[in-house]
Amino acid sequence: MSTGPDAVVAHLGLGTNLGDRQGNLARTVSALEKSDGLQVLRSSSIFETAPWGVTDQPSFLNMVVEVSSRLSPRELLVCVKGLEQELGREPGPRYGPRLIDVDILLYGQTVVDELDLHIPHASLHLRAFALVPLAQLAPDAVHPVLGRTVKDLADDAEGLEGVHPLA
């Protein structure tokens, strides 16, 4: 599959802080590669990050995956939420510990504002743990609502001191 006129480049944020964290990320990337309508183009480095929101929990591993998607934003959401369940994610508290979390960060320049789907991700500009790996892949991508590049947002994000490349 190629990034043709009907495919969109999207960026997915992956995070995990339970179990075999590196294995969880690898299994998620593998599952994305096998998903109909998606082609994994490239992945960022893995970063160890301080918890965000609920801070009394283990550190996370985070990364961003760039995909070519022939799925609509809604279909992509259904796909990634299904992958989370297949990989063993269980319901838990908001911002709490998780085996795997997959968020749609960007879907080209598309803006979606629905009850259960916000693209770009509603908190993207606040999350150093998502912006730093995203800036590795797409520093010049422009946030379609804020009109600022990902690199500029990453440089200004709070919490940068809690984001470290995995050794």
pLDDT per residue as tens digits for the range 78-103:
999 999 999 987 777 676 788 899 99
Structural domains counted in the chain: 1
DSSP letter for 10, please: E
Strands (E), the chain: 8-16, 38-43, 47-49, 60-69, 101-107, 112-114, 117-119, 163-165
pLDDT category at 2 given cuts 50, 70, 90 is very low
The reported pLDDT for the residue numbered 78 is 96
Domain-located, residue 144 = yes
**Which residue type sits at 37?**
G
Residue 125 in tokens: 């500009």
Q: Is 95 left (phi over 0), alpha (psi -120 to 50) or beta?
A: left
Tally of residues, the chain: 167
DSSP letter for 126, please: G
Residue 34 in tokens: 């096998």
Proportion of the chain above pLDDT 70, given as a percent: 96
Domain-located, residue 24 = yes
The reported pLDDT for the residue numbered 30 is 97
pLDDT at 118 over 90: yes
Active site residues: 89, 98, 101, 103
In this prediction the pTM is 0.93
For residue 72, give the CATH number of its domain: 3.30.70.560
Name the residue range of residue 103's domain: 8-162
Domain-located, residue 2 = no
Q: Find the mean pLDDT for residues 23-45.
A: 97
